[in-house]
Amino acid sequence: MRFLGIDPGIAIVGFGFVDKIGNKVVPVQYGCIQTEAHTPEEERLLHVYEGMVQLIDKYKPDTVALEKLFFNRNVTTAMSVSQARGVMVLAAAQKGLPIAEYTPMQIKQAIVGYGKAEKKQVQEMVKMFLRLQVVPKPDDVADALAVAVCHAHSYTLNSKLNEVLRK
């Protein structure tokens, strides 16, 4: 099964595709969609949307997961990122893909085992889980892979729970 993890943003959107094969999670492709500063917001949103559609068409994930947004300071940034997140959700929904959301704390708990782990700890665990030579850069890419790994593990558990509940 193929999972797409997304770290939403307007300047940089991290993405990571992983396959779950048995109990192993293996990387397929990862990187980022970048938009130019000082470009009109509608052009940036279009670029993010088109980039996401192309990635989904090329790598054909079975499900998509995004990091939930959490802002406590800059409302302007929150609005821009929320709009970008909306076009990512739209791209996935148009392809009929199930969408999951995870808080940063849930992702850290799934990856490190501690919900208040430092960013560096999460990045090192992603590198270890996926047997990568180096931590992916920029940080948004490592974060997206963490979302994908979290979803791969959670999806399996949730599927089993749903099977038990249906009986």
67 labelled ligand-binding: yes
140 labelled ligand-binding: yes
| Residue tagged active-site, from 67, 118, 143, 163 | 67
Residues 6 or more apart whose CB falls under 8 angstroms from that of 137 comprise: none
For 60, list phi and psi in degrees, rounded to 5. 45, 65
Q: How far is CA 79 from CA 8, 41, 84, 85, in A?
A: 12, 11, 9, 10
Q: Is 57 a catalytic residue?
A: no
Q: Is 67 a catalytic residue?
A: yes
Q: Is 62 a catalytic residue?
A: no
Q: Is the CB of residue 141 less than 8 Å from the CB of residue 151?
A: no
Binding residues for Mg(2+): 7, 67, 140
Q: Which residues are catalytic?
A: 7, 67, 140
Binding residues: 7, 67, 140
